[in-house]
Amino acid sequence: MTEVTSDSSPVSVRFQRAIAVALGLAVLGAALHAAFFGAPIVYVQRPLFLFAVVACATLLYPSGWLREGSLPEMAFNLAIIGVAAGATVYLVLNWDDLLWESYLSNSERLIAAALLLTVFEGARRTTAKPLIYVASLFVLYAVYGRYFPGILQHAGVTWENVLRVTVLGTDGLFGTPLGFAAGFVTVFVFFTALLNVSGAGAYLLNLAFALAGRWTGGPGKVAVLGSALMGMVSGSGVTNVLTTGTITIPMMKRAGYTPAFAAGVEAVASQGSQFIPPIMGAAVFLMAEYTGVPFLVLAGYCLVPAFLYYLSVFVQVHLRASKMNLRPMNEDEIPTFADNAFKSLIVFGPITLLIVLLFKNFSTDFSIAVTFLSLFATTCLLRETRVFTGERVKAVSLDGVQTLATISVALALAGVVVGMILLTGLGARLTTMIGAISQDSMFLALLATAIVAVVLGMGVVTVGAYVIVASLTAPLLTDMGVPLVIAHLFIFYYATLSGLSPPVAVVIFAAAGVAGAPAIKTAWIAMRLGFVAWLVPFMFTYYPSIIGLDGITLKMVIHVLTATVGVIAFGVAFEGWAFTRATTVQRLLCAAGGVLLFYPAAYLLPAGAGLLAIALILNRRSLPAASVT
């Protein structure tokens, strides 16, 4: 349970937080109202929502220019909010007239530019800051396109047209991505905030302790299982690290794991929260809207990749524990299974309800809204998880709106990028260019897409990176014959993995900070632990049957089984341990066998199985003479 303590911050900070709390509750109330009774018209809902999240980003994140909490900074923050409020009110009252005007007046241009700059300022204060540079680059490309070479060259557009598309249409700041943020994304974020503040998620972690604590190297396996359970309902890598990691990382260190390995395990296990059904993070809900594929079907497609991902981490943790002869946890450290399994129902009950509602084809907005209210109801059943007090309601609002502000300004800037892509025809140009470079090679096109997704996703929330990369490269992949849903899943996976990619790697830095470990060393360990995740998207793109695109078939079952064995082979190769310490030759044989087994081409499977069998037989024969350390 999140501790709620008295606030000793300066008066100016408490005043700004109070405004943010009120705005957060108002935004949540508006999203719930829209889910049950229908949303207001776009030209009212989205500008007001954008104002609220920009205001919250300004109030809750320091400017970095003035001393935090000082009166000058508060005055600066309130001035930004005033500009955003004035521009928003003008747009809402005059939108229809602005749409039909042939030219904008100087004052209208100033208002549009001012609103755009306030969004930039909100993003600058959050982890969405890199998107400022991305959006600016696309705007400059739109205006100065005539100076670009070759196929990228176009006639260029005027600054007025840029402002029209960016601020006065539904292809810019107020585009579809922001519309999603104002609806189900808002409720989803507050669902996670309620889970964190109520402490209900602690029962899931205790359940992991009860299940895995008695196994060899217990704390490491608890970290994997606990992060998977928390991830099922939180869908946030950093949140997972800062909740489960603060408990599991110190325990892993005490058990004998190195700080860097403990941080790497927690980072990879936590980032996988966006892969594992049923919640998976906001990006998958957006994917359902973009592809027209029901969310539950998408969640089903993600089951096998999630299983292989966590199996990879689990196997390496087990082999590391066996190699180091690490013991299970002490009995007095292991909570009671039955008690925590029962209390976990306050979380699993609402999640089950969400699945039922989606299965019955209720809208995403309605389903998530009902799930949020049901979680609020179930947390009221236990004294320790109730959020009735003013301080805890305030904590839920602050937790939710702080995350929502980051996601929403990122989606607003992603909307600007999408608008510039549509205005300039850049999507079609890039499709032609990448197609020419790859010479119609699907592998090269996929590789280029993966690189773009990882680079754009560095330091940016997954939803923003996903929206931009999907707008740029999904048409190319579908033109090359990749099914639409597979193309979007491919992009989503690599946008998510950017959280583990140096040099930014926000999840890595969070875990390394908790463990007191070098971030770069942690990053390399995490890359090894999550190695399978970098291969899985290529696997299901070439062999869609492995995720069940054609239904559950014998072919799918065989592919999953061989990939499972391949993951275990990779674990032996990386850790250098099977029955005993593996030689270099044995590790190479396991690595080669893993590659051949992981990609389920029928002609490769016998060779992969043979190589792995030889390695394991050799390792087994060396067991009697081995010195186990």
More confident residue, 63 or 330: 63
Which residue matches tokens 């680079």?
455
Q: pLDDT at residue 491 above 50?
A: yes
116: helix, strand or coil = helix
pLDDT at 24: 93
Mean pLDDT of 600-619: 88
Q: Which residues pair with 577 in a beta bridge?
A: 581
pLDDT at 34: 93
Which residue matches tokens 């390695």?
615
Q: How many CB atoms lie within 10 A of CB 297?
A: 15
More confident residue, 178 or 217: 178
Give dist(CA 213, CA 226) in Å, integer: 11
Task: Dump pLDDT digits (tens) for 355-374.
Answer: 899 888 888 889 989 999 99
577: helix, strand or coil = strand
Task: Dump pLDDT digits (tens) for 448-475.
Answer: 888 888 877 776 677 778 888 888 888 8
With beta carbons less than 8 A apart as the criterion, state whether 61 and 126 touch: yes
Give dist(CA 290, CA 274) in Å, integer: 18
With beta carbons less than 8 A apart as the criterion, state whether 485 and 293 touch: yes
More confident residue, 200 or 178: 178
Provide the token pair at 80. Answer: 């930004």
Mean pLDDT of 531-541: 90
pLDDT at 566: 92
Task: Dump pLDDT digits (tens) for 97-155.
Answer: 777 777 788 888 899 999 999 999 999 998 788 889 888 999 999 999 898 888 888 88
Q: Is residue 614 classed exposed, middle or buried when 0-12, 13-18 and 19+ CB atoms within 10 A define those classes?
A: middle
Split at pLDDT 50, 70, 90, the class of 626 is very low
With beta carbons less than 8 A apart as the criterion, state whether 248 and 222 touch: yes
Give dist(CA 526, CA 224) in Å, integer: 13
Q: pLDDT at residue 502 above 70?
A: no
Provide the token pair at 160. Answer: 């007025």
Task: Dump pLDDT digits (tens) for 257-279.
Answer: 899 998 999 889 888 877 888 77
pLDDT at 629: 42
The residues, any chain, with a CB within 8 Å of residue 264's CB and separated by 6 or more, are 508, 511, 522, 523, 525, 526, 528, 529
With beta carbons less than 8 A apart as the criterion, state whether 282 and 185 touch: yes
Give dist(CA 552, CA 548) in Å, integer: 6
Split at pLDDT 50, 70, 90, the class of 236 is low
pLDDT at 464: 79
Q: What share of the chain is helix, strand, coil (3-state, %, to 5)?
A: 75, 0, 25
Give dist(CA 439, CA 44) in Å, integer: 47
What string of DSSP letters covers 252-305?
A: HHHHT--HHHHHHHHHHHHHGGGTSTTT--HHHHHHHHHH---HHHHHHHTHHH
The residues, any chain, with a CB within 8 Å of residue 210's CB and separated by 6 or more, are 334, 335, 336, 337, 340, 341
What are the CA-CA distances from residue 591 to residues 372, 526, 614 (Å)? 45, 18, 12
581: helix, strand or coil = strand
pLDDT at 574: 93
Q: How many CB atoms lie within 10 A of CB 7?
A: 11
Q: What ranges do the domains of the chain cover? A: 201-325+438-547, 552-620
Task: Dump pLDDT digits (tens) for 402-436.
Answer: 989 988 998 899 889 888 888 888 877 877 777 77
The residues, any chain, with a CB within 8 Å of residue 15's CB and separated by 6 or more, are 74
Closest CA to 325 of 217, 247, 416, 222: 217
79: helix, strand or coil = helix
Split at pLDDT 50, 70, 90, the class of 249 is confident
Q: Is residue 178 classed exposed, middle or buried when 0-12, 13-18 and 19+ CB atoms within 10 A define those classes?
A: buried
